[in-house]
Structure 1
């Protein structure tokens, strides 16, 4: 299977049920965001408590949401969707965060969300078709990003192990992952090369974390005394525990709405027009749904502690929950099962949120490993997206393409990252592609022959 040729051909075309699903789901997520029950952007969630308790205005919260989301929407979400032909959460859910919060009326929020869903399914396809007809087809060139993203992403467990447990264990994990990638390519050429390596790497990370926590708890019990036990205040007297309880109760009161949300997100994933991440989008486009499920399943371990703690602290959940509905949806055979499973998964998540928070409090190393996982994912994808963007620049414009795209990326860095780093390179490819087309029309550039 080619690493760069996408089965979907980068075409954004949808059937009527798919269009309706996107539009209705965008309306629902905007409504839920308006009620401050859930947002997709993890950076916005901590600000929701002040909004919920009336210490922050709707306009101020909207400004925070827009500032933290705009770069991802236009710099990462739109370019990834246009190049892969697969929708992603930055394009679908981040705008509905903003539209829901900015809406002054409850009835207006779903209308604004539905309007954005219509833009996604109708206007984006037209822009995609028009871009493919340009002399310099920068969207096809952007498919070059798939190879570095898919292969470098497989290393994130080794990086996370190194960050948390040191160079020796990290080096061992990296060697094991490399051996497994080579073995997979040799023995199972039709399988996603990083699948087995990531599975073993994540298991090693969790194993190291659990072993450390078990050892630490044994040492604490051995050193514990009656005085120390008496000094530990009960959860009922802990103000943070009280806050967590009230937040969990607030979310449980809206359980039917969350079940509807889970059903919608899982249905969207089951339709195979949506990918939960950068690597996942390319795998979905290639038709490798099992590989996509594996990738998003491993990412779950990096986000459960973050989502659980921010939800309990703020009273606002995540639009995609713990993101377990992504891999489940990819693998389900029909939409009816997706609706049922999505609703049940979200119900389970919301009902067990307090228990998950308490469990994470007892396993500090497991909780910390999620932070290292997220950091490792950011590092690997940052390099992969930059390298892939330069490959795309070379494909569409040779040295001049590299100069423009690389130059835009560097200018963004020295200007204080006007566009967030993760989104800067794909955005530079699109801007560079437009510039190369203008130069072609001015008879100053001849497109590179493929």
Structure 2
């Protein structure tokens, strides 16, 4: 199976798609303004003080900008330009910021819609200009697809090793490699890591559930019971109030779920780094599979932060991504997306209680998230160096690798995940300047 995109991936959207993206950005900014949901998981915990009036809108906006800017310009924009597919970092992180920034309710959707318009009308123009440059760094960035897709396959192995030790990690790694080789041989048109990831994630969940069941059985045999809390549990009270706040706005969340699901159904949007490349190549079933596995890593995080803060995620548990990819038409996607968000919001309290009784499963989620981050950081760095080599050979590697190392030495003013793609773009600009100064000759092919 080829993992290389066709050269010159573009961001051309139909008029209906353009209008829809603008409207969805307006909606997400409005919801952010009301502190009902944000996309950035790191911002959500700060919203409780804002909701309860203990912090100002300006301070929460500053936090949101500080935690999101690197991902917007260092990851979201480069990924969209190199794949021709929109992503949540480019669309929803800015609407987090703009929604929180807006002092008036009516202004938030205007600012969000304006950002959406800038993306759909401006980004394709930047794409065309970049592809016309002597050093086409956007086409070079498509070199990132192979390491991202294949190294991402290993995230269950890392999670299993961290949680259950080297033996189980070694077994999982061996099984995944065998399955990747078998898939490439027997089903060459299928993404080679699809079956391997499925088995890896199932093995992790199975080990975690088995550990929790053994613990509960041992506790019962030893006569250990759960402690009874006298009076009202303050955390339970907070969780209940947060869940009630979100249920109050259930119709608005259903509209949001419908919108995100329809955007995914249009196949102009990818929910993750790896799935964006698969969407760009038209492999929607494989993209759905990848984003479905990510859900297991984020349900506990999103559920607990939502219950603690009273603010949900713009994409919910992100189930609407893989569901949307597979929907046959936008009308069905809207209905299903609304239903999924309704179920998620209504079951939020129950999910929180269930997670409290399954600590190993909850820990597996954290290990999955960390493993996803670790694999993608290496894949993006390696892919960025491949892009640097494609556009400038040794000089390209020197510039891009040097900028990445400089960012590390300066205590990462640009977050690590976004540092390498940012370095590729800066390196591409530098190589074009050197060409115009007659100091560099672009590589052929």
TM-score by length of 2: 0.99
Query: 1:203-214, aligned counterparts within 5 Å?
Result: 203-214=202-213
2:250 pairs with 252, 255, 271, which one?
255
Q: Which residue of 2 aligns with 1:186?
A: 185
CA distance in 2 between counterparts of 1:388 and 1:169 reads 29
Shift of 1:232: 1.9
Secondary structure at the counterpart of residue 335 of structure 2:
helix
1:391-411 Cα deviation digits (max 9, x unpaired) = 000000000000000000000
Q: Number of aligned pairs? A: 445
Q: Does 1:232 align with 2:228?
A: yes
CA distance in 1 between counterparts of 2:374 and 2:36 reads 31
CA distance in 2 between counterparts of 1:194 and 1:270 reads 23
Query: 1:12-411, aligned counterparts within 5 Å?
Result: 12-224=11-223, 228=225, 231-233=227-229, 237-411=232-406
CA distance in 2 between counterparts of 1:18 and 1:258 reads 21
CA distance in 2 between counterparts of 1:276 and 1:138 reads 23
Shift of 1:237: 2.0
CA distance in 2 between counterparts of 1:48 and 1:13 reads 36
Shift of 1:233: 2.0
CA distance in 2 between counterparts of 1:152 and 1:54 reads 44
Q: Which residue of 1 aligns with 2:2?
A: 2
CA distance in 2 between counterparts of 1:193 and 1:19 reads 33
Task: Report if the CA contact (8 A) 2:260-2:320 is conserved.
Answer: yes
Q: Which residue of 2 aligns with 1:449?
A: 444
1:223-264 Cα deviation digits (max 9, x unpaired) = 125xx56x4227x72110110000000000000000000000
Q: CA RMSD in A?
A: 0.9
CA distance in 2 between counterparts of 1:224 and 1:69 reads 48
1:288-326 Cα deviation digits (max 9, x unpaired) = 000000000000000000000000000000000000000
CA distance in 1 between counterparts of 2:289 and 2:55 reads 40
Task: Report if the CA contact (8 A) 2:5-2:280 is conserved.
Answer: no
Deviates more, 1:9-18 or 1:180-189: 9-18
CA distance in 2 between counterparts of 1:38 and 1:10 reads 32
Secondary structure at the counterpart of residue 436 of structure 1:
helix
Shift of 1:60: 0.3
CA distance in 2 between counterparts of 1:297 and 1:345 reads 14
Shift of 1:9: 4.1
1:337-362 Cα deviation digits (max 9, x unpaired) = 01000000000000000000000000
CA distance in 2 between counterparts of 1:21 and 1:198 reads 33
Shift of 1:5: 2.3
CA distance in 2 between counterparts of 1:242 and 1:76 reads 38
CA distance in 2 between counterparts of 1:341 and 1:316 reads 22
1:128-181 Cα deviation digits (max 9, x unpaired) = 000000000000000000000000000000000000000000010000000000
Structure 1 stretches of 5 or more lacking a match?
none
CA distance in 2 between counterparts of 1:259 and 1:115 reads 23
Shift of 1:3: 1.2
1:176-209 Cα deviation digits (max 9, x unpaired) = 0000000000000000110000000000000000
Structure 2 stretches of 5 or more lacking a match?
none
Task: Report if the CA contact (8 A) 2:267-2:325 is conserved.
Answer: yes
Secondary structure at the counterpart of residue 258 of structure 1:
helix
